[in-house]
Amino acid sequence: MHQLQETGFLRLPQIIGNPKAKPAIPPIIPVSKSTWWQGVREGRFPKPVRLGRRVTAWRAEEIHAFIEKVGL
């Protein structure tokens, strides 16, 4: 598993990766953006937290719990 902060918030590129970033961000959970959002709607992935009008993030603790649950 990649080094992932234990607490705080994670933005979507930190979770699903961004190969176009400089330097590239490797995925923690290798799914596409549309698959991620569909999974959030269906309850398969953790619910996001709105930090602002245009800022959405996920609690690092919930991402850790999800990773342990699915065995990534």
36-50: average pLDDT: 97
As a whole number of Å, the CA-based R_g of the chain is: 12
The verdict on residue 55 lying in a domain is yes
The verdict on residue 2 lying in a domain is no
Reported as a single tens digit per residue, the pLDDT across 30-39 is 999 999 999 9
Q: Which domain holds residue 42?
A: 9-70
The verdict on residue 4 lying in a domain is no
Give the model's confidence band at 2: pLDDT under 50 very low, under 70 low, under 90 confident, else very high.
Answer: low
18-45: average pLDDT: 96
pTM of the model: 0.87
Q: Which of 53, 66, 52 is nearest to 16 (CA)?
A: 66
The verdict on residue 26 lying in a domain is yes
Based on the structure, what is the number of domains in the chain? 1
Q: Which of 27, 7, 9 is nearest to 17 (CA)?
A: 27
The verdict on residue 13 lying in a domain is yes
The verdict on residue 45 lying in a domain is yes
7-21: average pLDDT: 95
The verdict on residue 1 lying in a domain is no
